[in-house]
């Protein structure tokens, strides 16, 4: 009996437990409201008691209501997309519970404010995308040249006589290009007098482009005006082969993706020969050596882990060209210019996640560039002549210039709370430049300049709230060539002023070492300084999927610009110094609309620029010859599905640029403006058609693109400036090499993945 | 006495287990009914949250997360707010990953993967077609391989073809045979249980009817 009693005693709790399971028990009602940080009701938030099925979703007033059979201490969880999970302890006693919940916004890349002052981002990863790689190749006036497409954005000048991006009153040298974080020397093909050269690299090797017209990050330096930051593509979607034929040449390539899709390699070769094109379209200069380009590329990309990626891109180019123009000082003579260029570029980059919060970016690159230039004074029969007096004695020369750059860059990034992060790292660049110069007076005058350039930088992205962010950075640089160091601040702020709108401010100091020429040409100089620019930028932007509106105002102050001094009119410089200065201010507008007109995507950009500078041999601060006051572009694209054809048009207008003839005045002992004027305004209407017969056909084994384009359809007169004769009595306009440029090409790509399968299955 | 103890003990355990699985099945059945009858986007979102609650409580079951992800995807389609598709797709993906971990290489999960890729593609079809088009195709093929009797990959493929312009190799002409194949598979399809995926036939019929 006593045994039985004890047993019952032990079993009692078990029975109660059992009964409670079988019978169920009283339900408790829990209700309340869910609101966001600003007190607005949140619809669609989910509320639940942890580890139970019980819960509800809030209605349009943020109200919820549910019943639960749970008792005692429980955890109430509330979630909603874009908000932080909210956890709170509750005690359920059976009495109705009323619980209001406040959800905090989760910092989110999709909704958070982004720092945009000064920069245009072109990638698909962010919603603030302004231009993407496809946009670049479908911009009518660009002919698939990255910087030509960038020129349709506000901030850049329409300079046709020399390559590069002239941004906000800055020279082309003030814009630097970076690929996967490291500086690229010789991004453009080597200069030819009075003809702008294209960029060397195809837009298809880049997935992202950031064009910063000022106020760029502390991770980059040595560019007074602007940084063009390019990010190379990752693994291809599939293996493929490609072939292209056009009016200017041929190209073929192959990309192989590994079976496991974790590595790929590829090769490309392109050959350009303008013989046929020049025969068909008459050129203004006499091309005695028809331009010929050999272009090779190799790449590999390896996924080193789930989050790691190792990429290599190697480039090789050889080109040869020669052109002859009448000599400006004598109608009996001609100037023949010959250029042979040899260039190798290699870039190795690695990014990896280290632990949960750290990222590592490693980049190394090497480039070597050799230009062999020969300039020859010739008579009417193209026979070399030597005339041993001014100005003819210095017109014939040979120069071999070689430049090498080896660099390594490391960036560590640590994620902080939310989207905040800090980045820091360093870079080391080793520049070696050599000039071997021969003319009437000098034989093999060799000058070398080496620079060990070191930089360290740190930067923090601080998200104070989802709506307010700051980027604070600093950069330290030291050049062995200048034997000087500098330390600069960079600061930007962004504040969200509406659902899709935000305002940003940016400030920064930028240093750039004087161009290598000042060290290589044997000029007398004494202790050159870094040239320096200070940027102030204010920006407003409103972006949605269908449109982008940007308004940006800037002020840029230049100090310590290079001044050159001489005492004659033959262009020979006696000495150089840092007494130059200048400023630039302006306002820019950008509007892109993808929706208003059916299947039409268009953008308009406008730049107003007010700039003056005193540099080189300018007698005082004047508007430089590369700066137009007003520049505007309209770019339109329309895809007609029915005929699988895209039509692209662009129109660019710029007011005339000033031109000057500076002459040395012996009595004043300095240069004065002997003549000046303004060129006619610049007009360029361009048109291109892309026909894609196989688009959307998922069964197609090849993908075909036909491209036809015409630059300057209307044949508008374009004058880029004037060249003056030695005596200053004659001036010749600088004109494009032909009135119009035509291009016709057909590009095929084959997805070889499936044909591989077919072959394997048949074996 | 000990016998009674064990008898009661095992009764308790069995009952508890039974009650638990009955509770699960009952909750799932109720939710699936709501899923089938959801009329508005908000209804669908509530269904998704409800499935997620069951998933979070059960943890080892793949079906609640599968349905939670599926209804999140359908919610996004009903909401038709393309610009925010990335956020919805991300949520659906988080849910589906949990289902995928509990039940790897499942044909039904591959179908939802293809649907999520479609959501992401629609944010900006011109730019994203290449990237996500390939994912959609791969996942549909995976779904067919993983369970050849599953009609849903055929439905999805048929629907995608229906929505592709004729110039791009889509339209009714190419979609119809695929949709008819799907209907045949739906007729033959036997769901593994009362709560296993068994949706899509009426939707397929609707797309097919629109092609006549």
For B183-196, what is each residue's pLDDT tens digit? 999 999 999 888 99
Task: Give the distance from residue A21's alpha carbon to the nearest chain B alpha carbon, in angstroms.
Answer: 7
pLDDT digit string, tens, across residues A702-734: 778 888 999 999 999 999 999 999 999 999 999
User: Is the domain of B137 the same as that of B192?
Assistant: no
> Is A14 inside any structural domain?
no
Instruction: Find the CB nearest A544 among B46, B83, B126.
Output: B83
Q: Residue A509's beta-bridge partner residues?
A: A534
> Is A114 inside any structural domain?
no
Count interface pairs A-B at CB distance under 8 A.
103
* Mean pLDDT, residues A195-219: 88
pLDDT digit string, tens, across residues A510-556: 999 999 888 888 787 778 999 999 999 999 988 877 788 999 999 99
Contact between A12 and A19 under an 8 Å Cβ cutoff? The reply is: no
Which tokens is A50 given? 């942890």
Mutate which of A17, A128, A698, A749 to disrupt the B interface (most B C-beta within 10 Å)? A698
**Strands, E, within A466-593: which ranges?**
468-479, 484-496, 501-512, 524-525, 531-543, 547-565, 575-593
User: Is the domain of B135 the same as that of B153?
Assistant: no
pLDDT digit string, tens, across residues B37-87: 988 999 999 999 999 999 999 888 999 999 999 999 999 999 888 777 888
User: Is the domain of B39 the same as that of B137?
Assistant: yes
B15 with A3: Cβ contact below 8 A: no
User: Is the domain of B171 the same as that of B133?
Assistant: no
Mutate which of B57, B93, B136 to disrupt the A interface (most A C-beta within 10 Å)? B57
> Is B137 inside any structural domain?
yes
Angle at alpha carbon of residue A546, lines to A80 and A603, rounded to 5° = 145
Range of A591's domain? 119-762
> Is B9 inside any structural domain?
no
Choosing from A73, A103, A133, the residue where a domain stops is A103
User: Is the domain of B127 the same as that of B57?
Assistant: yes
User: Is the domain of B53 the same as that of B111?
Assistant: yes
* Mean pLDDT, residues B7-25: 62
User: Is the domain of A508 the same as that of A387?
Assistant: yes
From chain B, the residues in CB contact with A10 under 8 A are 5
User: Is the domain of B128 the same as that of B202?
Assistant: no
- CATH number at A337 reads 2.40.170.20
User: Is the domain of B129 the same as that of B194?
Assistant: no
Q: Tell me, what's the pLDDT at B169? A: 72
Residue A236 confidence class, pLDDT cut points 50, 70, 90:
confident
Choosing from A64, A79, A103, the residue where a domain stops is A103
Mutate which of B129, B168, B175 to disrupt the A interface (most A C-beta within 10 Å)? B168
Pairing outcome for strands A468-479 and A119-122: unpaired
Contact between B179 and B207 under an 8 Å Cβ cutoff? The reply is: yes
Q: Tell me, what's the pLDDT at A139? A: 87
From chain A, the residues in CB contact with B50 under 8 A are 53, 55, 57
User: Is the domain of A610 the same as that of A558?
Assistant: yes
Longest Cα–Cα distance of chain A, Å, equals: 136
Alpha carbon of residue A750 to chain centroid: 29
Q: Tell me, what's the pLDDT at A4? A: 47
Report whether pLDDT(A124) > 50.
Answer: no
User: Is the domain of A36 the same as that of A133?
Assistant: no
pLDDT digit string, tens, across residues A349-403: 999 999 889 999 999 999 999 999 999 999 999 999 999 988 899 899 999 999 9
User: Is the domain of B123 the same as that of B60?
Assistant: yes
Report whether pLDDT(A237) > 80.
Answer: no
> Is A21 inside any structural domain?
no
> Is A188 inside any structural domain?
yes
Question: Residue A526 CB: number of other CB atoms within 10 A?
Answer: 8
Choosing from A58, A73, A103, the residue where a domain stops is A103
Q: How many domains does chain A have?
A: 2
- Please state the pTM of the whole predicted model: 0.81
If you ran DSSP here, which 8-state letter would residue A328 be given? S
Q: Tell me, what's the pLDDT at A285? A: 95
pLDDT digit string, tens, across residues A639-655: 887 888 889 999 999 99
User: Is the domain of A422 the same as that of A463?
Assistant: yes
Q: Residue A368's beta-bridge partner residues?
A: A344, A404
Instruction: Find the CB nearest A696 among B57, B82, B165.
Output: B165
Range of B199's domain? 149-212
Q: Tell me, what's the pLDDT at A127? A: 41
Q: How many domains does chain B have?
A: 2
User: Is the domain of B160 the same as that of B136?
Assistant: no
pLDDT digit string, tens, across residues B98-132: 999 999 999 999 999 999 999 998 887 777 777 78
């Amino acid at each position: 009996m006593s045994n039985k009693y004890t047993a019952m005693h032990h079993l009692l709790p078990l029975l109660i437990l059992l009964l409670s399971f079988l019978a169920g028990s009283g339900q408790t009602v829990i209700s309340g409201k869910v609101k966001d940080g600003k007190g607005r009701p949140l619809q669609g938030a989910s509320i639940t008691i942890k580890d139970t099925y019980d819960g509800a979703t809030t209605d349009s007033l943020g109200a919820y209501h549910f019943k639960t059979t749970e008792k005692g201490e429980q955890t109430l969880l509330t979630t909603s997309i874009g908000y932080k999970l909210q956890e709170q302890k509750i005690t359920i006693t059976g009495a109705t519970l009323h619980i209001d919940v406040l959800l905090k916004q989760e910092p989110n890349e999709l909704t958070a404010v982004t720092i945009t002052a000064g920069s245009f981002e072109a990638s698909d990863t962010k919603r603030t995308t302004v231009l993407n790689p496809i946009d670049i190749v479908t911009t009518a006036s660009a002919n698939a040249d990255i910087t030509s497409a960038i020129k349709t954005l506000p901030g850049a000048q329409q300079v046709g006589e020399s390559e590069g991006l002239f941004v906000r009153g800055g020279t082309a040298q003030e814009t630097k290009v970076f690929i996967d974080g490291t500086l690229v020397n010789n991004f453009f093909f080597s200069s030819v007098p009075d003809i702008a050269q294209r960029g060397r690299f195809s837009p298809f090797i880049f997935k992202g482009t950031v064009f910063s017209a000022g106020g760029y990050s502390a991770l980059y330096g040595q560019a007074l005006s602007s940084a063009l930051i390019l990010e190379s593509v990752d693994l291809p979607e599939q293996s493929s082969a490609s072939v292209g034929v056009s009016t200017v040449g041929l190209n073929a390539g192959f990309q192989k993706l590994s079976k496991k899709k974790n590595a790929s390699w590829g090769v490309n070769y392109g050959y350009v020969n303008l013989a046929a094109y020049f025969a068909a379209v008459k050129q203004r200069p006499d091309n005695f050596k028809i331009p010929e380009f050999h272009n090779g590329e190799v790449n590999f990309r390896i996924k080193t882990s789930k989050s790691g990626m190792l990429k290599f891109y190697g480039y090789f180019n050889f080109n040869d060209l020669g052109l002859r123009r009448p000599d400006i000082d004598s109608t009996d003579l001609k100037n023949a210019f010959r250029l042979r260029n040899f260039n190798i570029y290699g870039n190795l980059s690695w990014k990896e996640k280290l632990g949960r919060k750290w990222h590592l970016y490693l980049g190394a690159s090497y480039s070597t560039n050799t230009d062999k230039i020969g300039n020859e004074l010739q008579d009417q029969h193209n026979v070399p002549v030597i005339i041993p007096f001014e100005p003819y004695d210095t017109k014939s020369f040979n120069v071999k210039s070689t430049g090498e750059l080896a660099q390594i860059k490391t960036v560590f990034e640590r994620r902080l709370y939310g989207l905040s992060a800090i980045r820091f790292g360093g870079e080391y660049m080793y520049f070696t430049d050599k000039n071997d110069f021969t003319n009437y007076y000098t034989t093999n005058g060799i000058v070398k300049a080496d620079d060990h350039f070191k930089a360290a930088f740190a930067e923090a992205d601080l998200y104070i709230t989802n709506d307010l962010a700051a980027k604070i950075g600093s950069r330290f640089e030291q050049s062995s060539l200048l034997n000087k160091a500098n330390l600069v601040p960079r600061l930007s702020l962004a504040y969200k002023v509406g659902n899709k709108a935000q305002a940003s401010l940016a400030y920064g100091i930028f240093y750039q070492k004087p161009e290598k020429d000042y060290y290589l040409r044997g000029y007398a100089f004494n202790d050159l300084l870094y040239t320096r620019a200070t940027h102030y930028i204010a920006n407003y932007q409103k972006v949605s999927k269908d449109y982008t509106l940007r308004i940006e105002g800037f002020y840029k102050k230049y100090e310590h610009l290079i001044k050159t001094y001489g005492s004659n009119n033959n262009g020979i410089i006696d000495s150089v110094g840092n007494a130059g200065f200048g400023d630039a201010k302006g306002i820019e507008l950008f509007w892109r609309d993808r929706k208003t007109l059916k299947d039409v995507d268009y953008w308009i950009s406008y730049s107003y620029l007010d700039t003056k500078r005193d540099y080189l041999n300018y007698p005082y601060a004047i508007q430089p010859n590369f700066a137009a006051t007003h520049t505007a572009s309209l770019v339109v694209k329309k895809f007609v599905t029915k005929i699988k054809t895209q039509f692209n048009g662009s129109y660019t207008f710029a007011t005339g640029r000033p031109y000057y003839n500076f002459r040395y005045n012996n009595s004043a002992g300095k240069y004065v403006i002997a003549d000046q004027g303004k060129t006619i305004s610049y007009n360029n209407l361009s048109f291109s058609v892309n026909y894609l017969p196989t688009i959307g056909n998922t069964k197609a084994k090849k993908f075909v693109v036909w491209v036809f384009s015409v630059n300057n359809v209307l044949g508008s007169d374009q004058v880029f400036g004037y060249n003056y004769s030695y005596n200053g009595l004659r001036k010749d306009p600088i004109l494009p090499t032909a009135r119009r440029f035509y291009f016709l090409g057909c590009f095929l790509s084959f997805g070889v993945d499936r044909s591989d399968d077919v072959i394997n299955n048949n074996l | 006495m000990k016998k009674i103890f064990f008898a009661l003990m095992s009764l308790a355990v069995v009952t508890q287990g039974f009650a638990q699985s009955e509770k699960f099945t009952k909750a799932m059945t109720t939710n699936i009914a709501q899923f089938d009858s959801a009329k508005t986007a908000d209804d669908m979102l509530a269904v998704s949250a409800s499935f997620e609650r069951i998933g979070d409580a059960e943890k080892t079951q793949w079906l609640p997360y599968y349905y939670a992800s599926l209804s999140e995807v359908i919610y996004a389609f009903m909401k038709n707010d393309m610009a925010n598709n990335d956020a919805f797709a991300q949520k659906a993906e988080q849910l589906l990953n949990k289902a995928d971990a509990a039940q790897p290489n499942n044909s039904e999960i591959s179908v939802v993967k293809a649907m999520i890729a479609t959501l992401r593609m629609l944010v900006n079809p011109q730019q994203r077609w290449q990237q996500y088009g390939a994912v959609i195709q791969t996942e549909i093929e995976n779904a067919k391989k993983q369970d050849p009797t599953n009609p849903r990959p055929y439905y999805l493929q048929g629907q995608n073809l229906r929505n592709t312009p004729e110039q791009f190799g889509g339209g009714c002409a190419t979609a119809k045979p695929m949709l008819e194949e799907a209907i045949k598979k739906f007729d033959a399809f036997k769901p593994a249980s009362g709560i296993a995926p068994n949706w899509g036939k009426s939707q397929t019929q609707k797309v097919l009817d629109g092609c006549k």
